[in-house]
Amino acid sequence: STAQIGVTGLAVMGSNLARNFARNGFTVAVHNRTTARTTALVEEFGHEGAFVAAESAKEFVDALERPRRIVIMVKAGDPTDAVIREFAPLLEEGDVIIDGGNAHFEDTRRRERELREQGIHFVGVGISGGEEGALLGPSIMPGGSQESYASLGPLLEKIAAKAADGTPCTSHVGPDGAGHFVKMVHNGIEYADMQLIAEAYHLLREVAGYSPAKIAETFRDWNRGRLDSYLIEITAEVLAHTDAATGQAFVDVVADAAEQKGTGRWTVQIALDLGVPVSGIAEAVFARAVSGHADLRTAARGLAGPAAAALSPEAADAFAAQVEEALYASKIVAYTQGFHQIRAGSEEYGWNVDLGAVASLWRGGCIIRAAFLDRIRAAYDARPDLPSLLADERFAEEIGAAQEGWRSVITAAVGAGIPVPAFAASLAYYDALRAERLPAALTQGQRDFFGAHTYRRTDREGSFHTLWSGDRSEVRTD
Ligand code: NBP
């Protein structure tokens, strides 16, 4: 038994992760249900490091030093349970099973509980960065026991991406499902970021009248400022790309129906359960759904809308600057909502997640990596109990400075008939939170009227009900 770590499930993610471990000097046992994949991996990449190819589960387990560390990289869901059922009987107390797939955190909680009874540490790990990240350094979000992290952490820190300051983009997130929960919210934020960028593009195209090439330039420019991020960078690349077959802009030949794998949807479902308003993320998920409904879109095609009005080149450039403000302000809201959800999950499940550390481990390797995350980390470092990112002085100042442009952009979008659901939902969230009074008072009155649901008063303690169908006097109900 010489291998320090084992990887089972050698499709693209598992292979690349195994190679990453090997390239970093670890001896890696590799295994796959279909042995051909194991053989192919070692044949093609065996020169990169020390691999031990195992045909059977028993061989695999025997190749590992103790306590064993086994990474499962198979299709999420039933296949993960099947692999756990196969390996668990072969393992001993203190061994660690690591699930690097995109598991739902509730599944991770269940698996952790079941394996704990057997004395096995189960570590649900969120991994972001796609294929390339798995090979060159992903952002890694491990859950599980503190003890498991003591054994696993040093290996993960070696293979993880490094932030600009050299810090590894991984740290122990919290017990059981915490890592997969944080990965889920990461993906939700990714949906919001992408939708906000899409709305900015749409406005630059339809209101400013910019060409895709000009918009690519604009994004490149923005990428040198506060919006500096991987997603802005690749947006410029995609927009600058020309389709070889037609000579047209690539973005004009791609079908405009966005697909999804489900982690954005999970984020919203869980947010609803926790009562956390993640309206920006929800609008992003719904926007993809709307784009995919060809039937509804065809049926609505002839509906009336405003006539297009072109802006002068100077007005277009001024408008583009406001779009940058709208994008930045909405982005602050998306992260505010996402971090609120992590805090709520952490409280609900007793995870004690350090929000600043989460911002820190997203700084490299993952899809939402951005200069912006340094600021979020700084905000939580300064005030770990920060109730909301909007309560941070610097973010408050920045969003305050952007709000005029943000409003103008949304007004222009409404006037021009361009849908900006995520921009608009983000602004509504901002305005709702800063409002002195909300119409929720009226909602409470209605609820009391039709359902005697009671209400609280602004001037006295207690809960009250008005006898709406009687003499309309008020009674105290508590
Ligand atoms: P896939 O999700 O395509 O899964 C293929 C692997 O699962 C193969 O090794 C296959 O073995 C194995 N497998 C299946 Br399917 N059923 C099995 C079973 N019942 N028993 C044992 N093995 C089984 O691979 P992937 O795209 O590399 O992704 C792996 C995980 O990583 C997934 O959970 C994914 O969501 C997650 N992830 C992916 C990305 C990404 O960018 N692609 C990023 C982050 C996380 P076989 O070779 O014998 O069929």
Q: What confidence score (pLDDT) does residue 169 get? A: 98
| Residue 418 to residue 313: CA distance in whole angstroms | 20
Q: Is 11 in the pocket of ligand 1 (CB under 6 A)?
A: yes
Question: In the structure, what pLDDT confidence band is assigned to residue 320 with cuts at 50, 70 and 90?
Answer: very high
pLDDT digits (tens, 9 = 90+) for 332-390: 999 999 999 999 999 999 999 999 999 999 999 999 999 999 999 999 999 999 999 99
**For ligand 1, atom 47, which residue shows the shortest CA distance?**
34
Question: In the structure, what pLDDT confidence band is assigned to residue 309 with cuts at 50, 70 and 90?
Answer: confident
Q: Is 32 in the pocket of ligand 1 (CB under 6 A)?
A: yes
Q: Is 83 in the pocket of ligand 1 (CB under 6 A)?
A: yes
Q: What confidence score (pLDDT) does residue 386 get? A: 95
φ and ψ of 165, to 5 deg: -90, 10
Output the DSSP codes for 81-148: HHHHHHHGGG--TT-EEEE-S---HHHHHHHHHHHHTTT-EEEEEEEESHHHHHHH--EEEE-S-HHH
pLDDT digits (tens, 9 = 90+) for 58-107: 999 999 999 999 999 999 999 999 999 999 999 999 999 999 999 999 99
Distance from the alpha carbon of residue 128 to the mean position of ligand 1, in angstroms: 15
Distance from the alpha carbon of residue 6 to the mean position of ligand 1, in angstroms: 15
b (16+ CB within 10 A) / e for 256-281? eebeeeebbbbbbebbeeeebbbbbb
Q: Is 130 in the pocket of ligand 1 (CB under 6 A)?
A: yes
Mutate to test the pocket of ligand 1, among 73, 80, 97, 187 (most ligand atoms within 8 A of CB): 73
Q: What confidence score (pLDDT) does residue 264 get? A: 94
Q: What confidence score (pLDDT) does residue 308 get? A: 76
Across the range 304-313, mean pLDDT stands at 89
pLDDT digits (tens, 9 = 90+) for 123-169: 999 999 999 999 999 999 999 999 999 999 999 999 999 999 999 99
Exactly one of 106, 158, 183, 217 is catalytic; name it.
Answer: 183
Q: How many helices and strands, by DSSP H and E, does the chain display? A: 20, 10
Q: What confidence score (pLDDT) does residue 211 get? A: 97
Q: Is 79 in the pocket of ligand 1 (CB under 6 A)?
A: yes
Question: In the structure, what pLDDT confidence band is assigned to residue 310 with cuts at 50, 70 and 90?
Answer: confident
The verdict on whether 183 is a catalytic residue reads yes
Residue with token string 């956390």: 276
Across the range 264-284, mean pLDDT stands at 98
Question: In the structure, what pLDDT confidence band is assigned to residue 5 with cuts at 50, 70 and 90?
Answer: very high
Across the range 452-469, mean pLDDT stands at 98
**For ligand 1, atom 15, which residue shows the shortest CA distance?**
75
Residue with token string 């100042």: 397
Q: Is 140 in the pocket of ligand 1 (CB under 6 A)?
A: no
Q: What confidence score (pLDDT) does residue 77 get? A: 96
* ipTM of the predicted assembly exceeds 0.85: yes
Residue 341's alpha-carbon distances to 123, 189, 331, in angstroms, are 21, 11, 15
Q: Tell me the whole-structure pTM to 2 decimals.
A: 0.96
The verdict on whether 158 is a catalytic residue reads no
Q: Is 76 in the pocket of ligand 1 (CB under 6 A)?
A: yes
Across the range 188-209, mean pLDDT stands at 98
Give the mean pLDDT of the chain. Answer: 97
Q: What confidence score (pLDDT) does residue 307 get? A: 86
Q: What confidence score (pLDDT) does residue 219 get? A: 98
**For ligand 1, atom 6, which residue shows the shortest CA distance?**
74
Q: Which ligand 1 atom is nearest residue 36's CA?
A: 47
**For ligand 1, atom 2, which residue shows the shortest CA distance?**
75
Asked if 99 and 80 touch (Cβ cutoff 8 Å), the reply is yes
